[in-house]
Structure 1
Amino acid sequence: MTTVVNRAEAAERAVRERTARLEHELGDLDDPGNPLGADHILAADGRQQLLPVGERVLDTFGLNAEFVPRELGGRLDRLDVLARILRAVFRRDASLGLGYGMTSYLAAAVVWAGGSGQQRRRTADLLLSGGRMACAYPEPAPGNDFLHNRLTAVRDAGGHRLDGRKEALNNAARADALVVFAHTPEAGDDASTAFLLPGPRSGGEGVALLPRRRTSGIKGCVVQGLEFTAHRLGPGRMLGAEGGGAPLAERVFPVTRAVGPSMALGCADTALRTAVAFARAHRSRSRASLRSARTRSALVDAFTDLLVCDCLSLVATRAVHLLPRESRALSSAVKYLLPTVLTEMVYDLSIVLGAESYVTGGVYGLFHKAARDLPMIGLGSAGTAASRSAIVEHLLRVPTLTAPAAQAGPDRAVRAGLFRLFDAGLSPVRHDELTRPADGDTLLGSLEDMAREARAARGEFAEALGEAADALVTELRLLREDCAGPAVRPSPRGLSPRVYALADRYALIAAGAACLGVWLDGIPGLPGGSAWAALALARVVGRLDRTAVRVPEAGAERLLAEVLDRFDDSRSYDLYATPIGR
């Protein structure tokens, strides 16, 4: 046991040291002399380019090593850690986080899931040497036309000939390697295949870059299309079997849906920090000052929403390792819920800033940038509509799922492992398990047990916590009844629209259950006992629109004090309270 504890402590110490080194190299965001400070970031955004010094800092840090599994020479072994480190970049500049970091990871994740040993090794070497990647994921039916794929690969002399267009791809021109999904008609009418090929700069004949697409957010990212005309793909370019593109994408989506929105919490963190700075700068008689009840409420609600989102993100990223069969639904809940919650959070904070929320420069320009960037981060092939469809598919099976055993044992240990912020004891990702049907719903199956513990809590906020937990249990019972009823049964006309409302409820109940689990495990960096959990569950129950849970005013005051303390100490607004910019 001592060895296990020491190993976990050493792993957490290494993560904190890496994060601290990255934050130190990024420097103080508010320092006008820092080349990676707010003024320079906003200026680069105005020029619609990534800040070159930012890319050099990430090169020096070796950020790409975070995307490469340890067995291939990198530092990737836990998805929750990957998201945690990338938040440092997203807090600084979402364009840098997406353009330098996430885009390469989204492509590499396909190779880790379906590539041969040689393909994995070459991809690892490319990233570890500072190379870039991009990926043209297939767009599911409930997707969006902006990212639509029109690629076809036909067999040709031992390889394939690639034709068609990908309308919008981040980093297309700068990528050293591309992952593309193309229709392969010889493998079936609807069959697709994934290919790994060189980037357009060295990709040979038949590759043309389309004009850059301007975007309202993440302006520093260069989004372009690619056009292939009889582009030759030699042997060894296929990732997996011909016709296996769709199953391969389904193996990757639980990973990318869980980790991508979790990284983006860093962007929302900056929005909250900017709003706090604005409120701090205003005189007591101003409606934007901290004496205003509206301002205090907006800041506390935003902080609470960030904690709710992080609890669900933590569970989803750890479930990929611990409960791979259940991770498809959980990661879809993250991808579906977080963009909505975070966008609403930023809108509510904009009321605090008033007209200043629209300025593009100066002290508060980062708020407007975050408000523009956040919706763009959520745009993608595994976007909201596709994620909702995955949740609906899970709901159709809810009546047949078994509840986890309540007694102590391996199942209980796995459940506990979902909620531990610093636990390093995770198995490698088993990609072949990610698409197999779940035989249970461990998170929601644990809700009643966790609610009983909440009702047994003592202290000032115990009553509110127990009331909110009971409301979640009631919601879960109603959800199960609805899933067993005729509303979710497919008919000749398709699914009832009510099913999609059930997807909303599932995601919110999962978020509430995640908060309960994290509260039971304890958050070392968050004082206030049950106050944060009571407020978090009250926010979730309020979104479910069933009842209002009244939390004593002292709860909001404690969280407001924490918001201000973290602002003064330069610590992040997530579960980790990470020191930033030091």
Structure 2
Amino acid sequence: MKKLKQYWTAEALEKDLGDPLNPDNPLSYKRVIEIDESEEFPHEEIRWLYDWKLQHYYIPTDCGGEFTSFEEFVAFVRVLSRRDQTIGIAFTTLFWSFLNWMAGTPEQKQKLARFIMDDYGALCLGYSEKEHGSDLINGDLTATKVEGGYILNGEKWPINRATISGISFILAKTDANGGPKCLTLFMVDKRQLDPEKYYNLPKIYTHGVRASDMSGIGFKDCFVPDSMRLREEGDGLELALKGFQITRMLCAAFSHGAADTALRTTLGFAVNRVIYNKNVMDLPQPRRTLVDAFLDILICDCETIPAARGFHIIPEQFSVWASVVKYFVTVRLEEMVNSVYVVLGSRFYMREEHEFGIFQKLLRDNSIISMFDGSSIVNLHALILQLRPLTKYRAKRNSRTMSALKTRLEAIFSLEKSVPPFEPNNLELFGRGMDDSLQGLEIALDILEGLKNSDEVDPEILENLLMLGNLVLEELNAHDEKISQSKFEYGHDQSPELFEIAKKYCTLHAASACLHTWLYNRSILGEFLPGGMVGVEFTPITANSAAAALHSI
């Protein structure tokens, strides 16, 4: 695993954070529980991460930072979220800087890079409003054009790090007539504002992530200069939606961190607890629960990690893939966390017992991940609008498109292949019917057929993989037939049946990702490790575990 350089940063962070059971270590379970109980923002812990220079990995190299790939990014955010999602989320509001790396001028990029790296600057995102939620176009915060800039009026709520941040990305209405070009995005540096013209809303007390700066921000006749506008007037909605493609996928890292800790802390209990004269781990039902939980993590690894790589290779397809990851991974791992607590028994509910009560905290914290940056319904709706183009494109594939697709699949799924620099300008609002993972399923099955002539894979396991892979293909063909015969439904009044179809598509997508991940990494990741995740590294997947994952799906 040492040759997988993209995991070195996460490994170094894991090492320096130390054992979370040692109360003296940074972000120990004891300390994060104390922070949660106090509901006070973790300034000291956030400072430790800045001193470690983690903020540099949010900034592209051409702006002086050390960001190289989203695969590396997902790995270290996952490590951070294993210790505490509150701190992980609070620090990772820095990923909104990608709006600037996408759309900013050279001057705006350099200003933000220096603010983050040198000033330990924090960011927030002001999209949602109390009366409108995710209905961005109908928001009430306005930006009225005046000489040299704009006058902002209105409020954004609820916003993470709205109060404790220096720069806010604010989406404002610049055209009262509405429509898709009515919004403009501003990178508002609060240090340059008249302090009498903006204000912070009170802290919101929440069920989980209690120590977060969850609040809001308001403006009253507040002047912002033209230099704070990102791109052109009217480009705000497009930038917002493209930014969501990045952050929705990256949210999966928060879920992975919580799932890792949930499984590990429960497993630690199960292997040491004796009841009915037996070790809990030796009882069939608890053992099955924990094995299923491990498979859930494997499945979601196979969806999240290639997606992180895919940003560098097929960014134009992420209006689909980001929605799949944000729905499938966050929901699946939320269900996984909710399933393993039965093994802990009453201890899952206690605020002090078993590893300082970390489980009850992560159970509360993790429940928000599937909701923010677009809820499950929002992401399924985004996918529904693209199901018909996906079906049409798949029907029109030919030998030329399949040959190119095969090349891309290896680049996306093989962890030993380097990825090119991320090109944010290649993000598209609609994927034009392309989805390499599912549309390359026949390629995966052909490779499996070819393995029959080698002794690389146990024949019984290979047949199992082929059987399950062909079952996924049958389901995909049935899905396409259903879509091609259905009526297209416009707007937000989609039927419940279409939401179920979209959920099924996500499941099929994850199944194909499991197959591709094993195929393109079967010779480089070593033997399967029964203990599961080791350190921060991607778990090696054998044919046996790949088949089990497919069967679990």
Q: Same fold (TM over 0.5)?
A: yes
Q: Which moved more, 1:151-160 or 1:197-206?
A: 197-206
Counterpart secondary structure, 2:203: strand
For residues 231 and 492 of structure 1, the distance between their equivalents in structure 2, rounded to whole angstroms, comes to 35
| Change in CA separation of 1:272 and 1:470 when aligned onto 2, cut-off 3 Å | same
Question: Is the 1:516–1:533 contact (alpha carbons within 8 Å) kept by the matching residues of 2?
Answer: yes
Question: Is the 1:151–1:164 contact (alpha carbons within 8 Å) kept by the matching residues of 2?
Answer: yes
Aligned length: 527
Unaligned runs of 5+ in 2: 529-540
Task: Report whether the alignment pairs 1:478 with 2:499.
Answer: no
Deviations along 1:103-152, whole A, 9 cap, x unmatched? Answer: 121x2011112111211111111111121111113579995599x95411
Deviations along 1:421-451, whole A, 9 cap, x unmatched? Answer: 2432323223244335425322111112213
1:171 equivalent in structure 2: 161
Task: Report whether the alignment pairs 1:109 with 2:101.
Answer: no
Instruction: Kindly state the Cα deviation for residue 409 of structure 1 after the two structures are TM-superposed.
Output: 5.1
Q: Tell me which amino acid in the other structure corresponds to 1:212.
A: K
* RMSD, aligned α-carbons: 2.7
For residues 277 and 319 of structure 2, the distance between their equivalents in structure 1, rounded to whole angstroms, comes to 47
2:380 equivalent in structure 1: 388
2:364 equivalent in structure 1: 372
Counterpart secondary structure, 1:376: coil
2:60 maps to which of 59, 69, 73: 69
For residues 305 and 148 of structure 2, the distance between their equivalents in structure 1, rounded to whole angstroms, comes to 45
1:529 maps to which of 534, 542, 548: 542
| Change in CA separation of 1:118 and 1:140 when aligned onto 2, cut-off 3 Å | farther
For residues 128 and 104 of structure 1, the distance between their equivalents in structure 2, rounded to whole angstroms, comes to 11
Task: Report whether the alignment pairs 1:520 with 2:510.
Answer: no
Task: Report whether the alignment pairs 1:21 with 2:12.
Answer: yes
Deviations along 1:6-62, whole A, 9 cap, x unmatched? Answer: xx987x43x444223212221111123335321111111111134444223211211
Task: Report whether the alignment pairs 1:347 with 2:338.
Answer: yes
Deviations along 1:327-377, whole A, 9 cap, x unmatched? Answer: 210110001112211111011101111111111223241111111111223
Task: Report whether the alignment pairs 1:441 with 2:446.
Answer: no
Counterpart secondary structure, 1:243: coil
Instruction: Kindly state the Cα deviation for residue 219 of structure 1 after the two structures are TM-superposed.
Output: 1.3
| Change in CA separation of 1:186 and 1:124 when aligned onto 2, cut-off 3 Å | same
Instruction: Kindly state the Cα deviation for residue 494 of structure 1 after the two structures are TM-superposed.
Output: 4.8
Question: Is the 1:451–1:473 contact (alpha carbons within 8 Å) kept by the matching residues of 2?
Answer: no
For residues 499 and 274 of structure 1, the distance between their equivalents in structure 2, rounded to whole angstroms, comes to 38
For residues 61 and 201 of structure 1, the distance between their equivalents in structure 2, rounded to whole angstroms, comes to 28
Q: Tell me which amino acid in the other structure corresponds to 1:115.
A: G
Task: Report whether the alignment pairs 1:121 with 2:110.
Answer: yes
For residues 262 and 458 of structure 1, the distance between their equivalents in structure 2, rounded to whole angstroms, comes to 33
| Change in CA separation of 1:476 and 1:498 when aligned onto 2, cut-off 3 Å | same
Task: Report whether the alignment pairs 1:253 with 2:244.
Answer: yes
Instruction: Kindly state the Cα deviation for residue 283 of structure 1 after the two structures are TM-superposed.
Output: 1.1
Q: Which residues of 2 match residues 535-554 of structure 1 at below 5 A?
A: 535-540=548-553
Q: Tell me which amino acid in the other structure corresponds to 1:154.
A: T
| Change in CA separation of 1:356 and 1:284 when aligned onto 2, cut-off 3 Å | closer
1:548 equivalent in structure 2: none
Q: Which residues of 2 match residues 156-555 of structure 1 at below 5 A?
A: 156-185=146-175, 188=178, 191-199=182-190, 204-283=195-274, 285=276, 289-364=280-355, 365-401=357-393, 402-403=396-397, 405=399, 410-454=404-448, 456=452, 458-486=458-486, 488-490=487-489, 494-522=493-521, 524=525, 527=528, 529-540=542-553
| Change in CA separation of 1:134 and 1:420 when aligned onto 2, cut-off 3 Å | same
Counterpart secondary structure, 1:178: strand
For residues 138 and 480 of structure 1, the distance between their equivalents in structure 2, rounded to whole angstroms, comes to 35
Q: Tell me which amino acid in the other structure corresponds to 2:210.
A: K
1:580 equivalent in structure 2: none
Question: Is the 1:282–1:289 contact (alpha carbons within 8 Å) kept by the matching residues of 2?
Answer: yes
TM-score calculated relative to the size of structure 1:
0.84
For residues 408 and 399 of structure 1, the distance between their equivalents in structure 2, rounded to whole angstroms, comes to 15
Counterpart secondary structure, 1:29: coil
TM-score calculated relative to the size of structure 2:
0.89
Question: Is the 1:302–1:349 contact (alpha carbons within 8 Å) kept by the matching residues of 2?
Answer: yes
Runs of 4+ residues over 6 Å off in structure 1: 139-142
